[in-house]
Amino acid sequence: MDLIYLFKDEKMNMQKNSKIVLLLAVLVAGNLLLWTSNTMARRGDAFEQIGLLTALRRELVTSHVEEPDQEKMLKYAVEGMISALNDPYTTYLFPEDMKQFDKHIRGSFSGIGAEVMIDQTLKRVKIVSPLEESPAWKAGIMAGDIIYEIDGKDTEGLSINDAVGMLTGQQGTQVTILVRHKTGEKQTIQITRARINIQTVKGFKRDKDHHWNYMLDEQNKIGYIRLTQFNEKSGPDMRLALNQLNAQGAKAVILDLRFDPGGLLPTAIEVADMFLPGGQKIVSVKGRVVPETTEYSTDSGTAFTGEVVVLANENSASASEIVTGALHDNHRGKFFGTRTFGKGSVQQLRPLASGEGALKITNAYYYLPNGEKIHRVKGAENWGVNPDPGFYVAMKSSQVTDMLKVRREGDVLNEENGAQQAIEITPDWLRENLKDIQLAAGLEAVIGKLTTGQWPKVGSEGGDDIRDAILLENLIRTRELLQERMAEVVKEIKKIESGEKTDPETDKTADVSTEIENIEKEEAVVVPAK
């Protein structure tokens, strides 16, 4: 199943001997895989390479001018092998990390509530998406934010394990982070950690008892369901929401998967099945050593047969992409918004030895019903799910900020939100009051479909918009990289001017032309609309 990677709050404290055994175990496993896949032509035998590495370690331990920290050597050896894969979702879990991982599997954890990864350009922690209603969400953390400091400590070069260990802690404790938003603005934010219990299925507004009302347009009988994450409760809660809409005579529903970071694969299949007739392909899973398997919809799972609009954007990842792609490719729903995130990899937890932790390894990819891979890999032209031409509806960063501000205010449980007057909801009302261009476009389109039988085009063709979006993303990355290096230059200048000694080995002001060239290569990729 596809899992959101959560925070761990325990430091590594293993015995040296067990770590040496673990290192050898990892090396044996990694090299045997290389040997069996016939990529050992230069050495010919996996054990020769193991001998090289053990000999190297022996010489460093016995002969280096300074006594090496063998625990650190092991940690870097493990992280080095994994980093060579260029896959932020493959990580090693030390035995103490497993305790926190198990808590996440059970759905019980305490933290700030955000999915994170390491930005490969900046080598810093990046917010993939805050979890809705989490402390991070309420504090204004947004997808794409780069974390520069955690409690005053610079995050450059931190591993994902170290970063999440610093971000987590006991419920009620505080953590202070310095983030850079996509706008370029830096902000220091203090967050109080909390137990994360999220209601993932939400409606358009709350009734007087603070329960969600899923009917958006009473006149045209159009419902609205927002799914913020795929967990074990999401399926049953989604079915209850659809049953409520069916009882109200709903003719259509808008399924909002924007900013949904994903979650459990079985839940994604269950949700897609609720909208599809039996026998439709939902998703396929296959990898280099994983045989292809395909999941199909069932007649018994169908819960709604009216028209369906799917809203998704560049922050819709993983399980939300599976549902979007299943409804889009089977022509069951019309997809409005922007190209999805492109996180379509399968992670499997593999214990390496008794009591020696486990490897969370990417061993397969998800494929859409049309056969295309969801996951974004370096140099790829296609990834994720794209709206059809004429249904691409983009929002600028400032517009997203305004929309999310209104949404967060509407999600707050208070008397005002629970006592709203009956209002006629129209696309213009949504644009003016909720600042939600994409939801307005979806409502306008589904009204047109119910009225004329045809989907009116309410967006752009998408080709130029997609290219512009990629160019903007890369320009932002270039700007962040240059700003980062400029900050280091300023620090070094101040050190010299103050007479403080500088260490050439720790100088971070090196030429960044190679990194920028890599970004420029990505800018040159022409990405056609699907």
Annotation marks residue 286 as catalytic: no
| CA pair distance 465, 477, nearest whole angstrom | 18
Alpha-carbon radius of gyration of the chain: 25
Annotation marks residue 343 as catalytic: yes
Annotated catalytic residue: which of 2, 162, 329, 465? 329
Which residues touch 400 (CB under 8 Å, ≥6 apart)? none
Q: Are 357 and 95 in contact (CB under 8 A)?
A: yes
Closest of 459, 409, 456 to residue 433, by C-alpha: 409
| CA pair distance 257, 247, nearest whole angstrom | 23
Q: Are 18 and 71 in contact (CB under 8 A)?
A: no
Closest of 291, 371, 393, 379 to residue 325, by C-alpha: 371
Which residues touch 128 (CB under 8 Å, ≥6 apart)? 114, 115, 116, 117, 143, 261, 315, 317, 341, 343
DSSP class of residue 273 equals: H
Give the end-to-end CA distance of the chain in Å, rounded to a whole number: 27
Annotated catalytic residue: which of 134, 318, 320, 345? 318
Q: Which two structure tokens, joined as six digits, stand for 209? A: 């008892």
Sign of CA dihedral 441, 443, 447, 449: positive
Q: Which two structure tokens, joined as six digits, stand for 319? A: 């399980």
* Cα–Cα–Cα angle for 298, 300, 301, rounded to 5 degrees: 70
Q: Are 187 and 179 in contact (CB under 8 A)?
A: yes
Annotation marks residue 511 as catalytic: no
Which residues touch 297 (CB under 8 Å, ≥6 apart)? 272, 273, 276, 277, 278, 279, 280, 282, 326
Annotated catalytic residue: which of 19, 182, 343, 360? 343
Task: Give me the active site residues, please.
Answer: 318, 329, 343
